[in-house]
Amino acid sequence: MNSALTVFWKEVRENLRDKRTVFSALVYGPLFGPIMFVVLMNVVVSKQMSHAEGPLKVPVIGAQYAPNLIEALKQQGLVPEPPLADPDKAVRDRDTDVVLRIPADYAKAWAKGEPAQVEVIYDASQMGSSTPRERLEGMLRNYDRQQGALRLLARGLSPAIAAPLVIGKRDQSTPQSRAGMMLSILPYFFVLAIYIGGMYLAIDLTAGERERQSLEPLFANPVARWRILCGKLGAIGAFSLASLVLTAVAFTIAGYFLPTAKLGMAFDLGAAFIGKAILLELPLIALFAVLETLVAAFAKSYREAQTYLSLLMIVPILPSIVMSVMPVKAAHWMYAVPLLGQQIGVSDLLRGSPVHAGDIGLALVCGFAAAVVIGIVTAFVYRSERLAISA
Amino acid sequence: MIEVKDLHKAFGEVKAVDGVTFSARDGEITGLLGPNGAGKTTTLRMLYTLMKPDSGQVLVDGIDAAVDPLAVRRRLGVLPDARGLYKRLTARENIEYFARLHGIETRLMHQRRDKLVDALEMRDILDRRTEGFSQGQRVKTAIARALVHDPRNVILDEPTNGLDVMATRGLRAFMRNLKAEGRCVLFSSHIMQEVAMLCDRIVVIAAGRVVADETPDALRAQTGEANLEDAFVKLIGSEEGLAA
């Protein structure tokens, strides 16, 4: 194994001198996720907070027909705004989230004791419109119930007659599990860090070396090609691992900048979590190293390899997408599927649910087995005559 | 000692090497001469086991390249057509990388490296990164890297390609020195004068075949031409690709 080690050290040393590789593996990869995550969370949370608590500004059309209703809504935090000429268009164009319209015959129906109609105009397809709409509807329902109860009392009846059912809500989520939901995107950043961490190395060590014509002299040495491949894979894996560890550390630090208090959530990004998460991700380091090298070995040039590997970056996203579109119940067999197992495992760890040693073991064994299989294919490709010939 | 017996290699329809046989002896410089595209590089690539011949045999010091390619590579020092230095490493690191791949222990490695560095007069560039090296500096580094394991047999593919007069002269002296040390030196070239000046034996290749395998004098006698260049043109049957 001495020659593989020689290759390993040379590749590590050479690539530590390459600014682009170092930047993408050790700066961009590890920092991109946590920074984006913190910014996103803070923006989302502060927006939701302002929607949920601040005064609700709603343009009101026909306010003059229902002064009592408007007064009651004002007491609940509504700030009526001047009417709009075209409320439908305003809502569609996102000029406002929701508009309240009181028809001219409101007062007549109210006076007769008939159901009086008010209209809430909104666009359900607009993100962020649901919170103000729900708040407005809640205010209207409050007024509705209150006036209904008053009418019953006036006729000598108990308001309880009109409320045969009371719904009690018991949310079983814990602060940690709610945080886990918010953090379900985090496993993806881990996977991405591994992928990006090794990518430029994988390209450089195979497609790059061929393009610079140094593969031919290298193969003229009395070293079996699989040993050279082992050294190169080791160097790719080392950079991936460094990228992963830095990402994990960056997330721990990022944890302090998350608006957890505002959300009433708690999550554990401590050493125990990081240790287990890294253990779980280890097979992916091997898997991506062989996969990226295999792809780079097929590419005719550095740029071609870069294109292929950028396209291949979609693969680690797949489990995240599948899980968010089809929220399936986690089963033990899923740990046997590389990427899927890591997605589920890290999500569970974040939510504070225990992950069994058996499941981690299964993920490790299956992940490394897949890496070995692809590794053998890569070694086979590495033996081909074509690989070394640059011109 | 390098022996090549009836080598064949085709890429699809194109027969790049079509029955090449010759020997390169120890203590001699053998020149592989031929126009561009004659099959020189492909032949050499089969010698250092980068390519497998479709048929035929390669023996290096009596070892069959098809049977034990690692042992063959251990006995060869190769300057391939592709020089391919590592730009981000210094000349010294380039040389030491290959030495380590040969499993040479550190003390011996330093000894050999210093000897080559002096012989090639490259002390001044030793600790510079090879990025931005001139063609001559690159060839020197690549040769030092190829010979650091002290091989008995040396294969140089167009070693003087792109070198200026001074660098070429230096390289010729270096090759004569290798010969004097009793090594088997095999080099390819398409430049007549160079081959005539250096070689004990000339193997002329055209269209994938050996058309002559003689000493320079015998070659002149065989073709009846006093001038080697004319002899060469007569042998390959055209003036194509003869530009020096």
Per-block mean pLDDT, blocks of 10 residues, chain A (391 long) = 88 91 86 82 72 80 89 88 86 87 89 88 82 88 90 88 82 63 74 90 91 90 93 95 91 78 67 87 94 91 91 81 70 85 84 82 93 94 81 51
CB contact (8 A) between residue A390 and residue B52: no
**Secondary structure E strands in chain A:** 56-61, 78-81, 98-101, 119-122
Q: Residue A214: phi, psi to the nearest 5?
A: -100, -5
Instruction: Return the residue of B nearest to A10 by Cα.
Output: B97
Q: Are A301 and A211 in contact (CB under 8 A)?
A: yes
Q: Which region, left, alpha or beta, applies to residue B2 given φ > 0 means left and ψ of -120 to 50 means alpha?
A: beta
Tell me if A217 and B88 make a contact (CB, 8 A cut-off): no
Comparing CB atoms, the residue among B76, B84, B93 nearest residue A216 is B84
Residues in chain B: 244
The H-or-E segment that residue A77 falls in is none
- Chain CA centroid to CA A211, Å: 37
What does the pLDDT read at residue A264?
63
B198 token code pair: 């250096």
Shortest CA distance from B142: residue in chain A:
A217
Amino acid identity for residue B193 in this structure: Q
pLDDT for position A46: 73
Query: Angle, to 10 degrees, between the axis of helix B106-119 and the axis of helix B135-147?
Result: 140
Min CA distance, A367 vs chain B (Å)?
A: 31
pLDDT band of residue B1 (cuts 50, 70, 90) is very high
Q: What one-character-per-residue DSSP string does chain B give?
A: -EEEEEEEEEETTEEEEEEEEEEE-TTEEEEEE--TTSSHHHHHHHHTTSS--SEEEEEETTEETTT-HHHHHHTEEEE-S-----TTSBHHHHHHHHHHHTT--HHHHHHHHHHHHHHTT-GGGTTSBSTT--HHHHHHHHHHHHHTT--SEEEEESTTTT--HHHHHHHHHHHHHHHHTT-EEEEEES-HHHHHHH-SEEEEEETTEEEEEE-HHHHHHHHT-SSHHHHHHHHHTS-TT---
The full set of domains in chain A, from first to last, is 2-41+176-388 (no CATH), 52-163 (3.40.1710.10)
How far, in Å, CA of A29 to CA of A193, rounded? 5
Asked if B224 and B52 touch (Cβ cutoff 8 Å), the reply is no
The shortest C-alpha distance from B83 to chain A (Å) reads: 7
Looking at residue A223, its pLDDT comes to 93
Distance from CA of B228 to the nearest CA of A (A): 31
User: In this predicted structure, what is the pLDDT of residue A50?
Assistant: 67
Q: Indicate yes or no: CB of A385 within 8 angstroms of CB of B48.
A: no
Contacts of A391 in chain B (CB under 8 A): 81-82
Please report the pLDDT score of residue B125 as a whole number.
94
C-alpha distances out from residue B34 to A11, B40, B203, Å: 38, 7, 8
Any idea what DSSP says for residue A65? G
Candidates A2, A14, A223; nearest CB to B86: A14
Residues of A with CB below 8 A from B101's CB? 3, 6-7, 218, 221-223
pLDDT tens, residue by residue, A262-302: 666 666 677 888 888 899 999 999 999 999 999 999 888 88
What predicted TM-score, i.e. pTM, was given to this entire model? Answer: 0.81
Test B50 with A389 for CB contact under 8 angstroms: yes
DSSP letter, residue A97: S
Interface of B with A in 63-82 (CB under 8 A): 70-71, 73-74, 76, 78-82
What single string gives the DSSP state of each residue in A113-180?
Answer: TSPPP-EEEE-TTSTT-HHHHHHHHHHHHHHHHHHHHHHHHHTT--GGGG----PPP-----HHHHHH
Which residue of A lies nearest to B89 if distances are taken between CA atoms?
A14
Chain A residues contacting B, CB < 8 Å?
2-3, 6-7, 10, 13-15, 17-18, 209, 212-224, 385, 388-391
Q: What is the pLDDT of residue B150?
A: 93
Number of cross-chain residue pairs from A and B with Cβ atoms under 8 Å apart:
80
CA-nearest residue to B88 within chain A is A14
Chain B: residue whose CA lies nearest to A19: B88
- The answer to whether the beta carbons of residues A194 and A244 sit under 8 Å apart is yes
| Helical axes A130-154 vs A29-53, angle rounded to 10° | 20
Residue B163 pLDDT > 70: yes
Q: What is the pLDDT of residue B244?
A: 37
Which of B78, B97, B138, B147 should one mutate to test binding to chain A, selecting the residue with the greatest count of A CBs within 10 A?
Answer: B97
Q: Of A14, A219, A220, which is closest to B88 when you measure between CB atoms?
A: A14
What ipTM was reported for this prediction?
0.90
Mean pLDDT of chain B: 89
Q: Report CB contact under 8 Å: B87, A13.
A: no
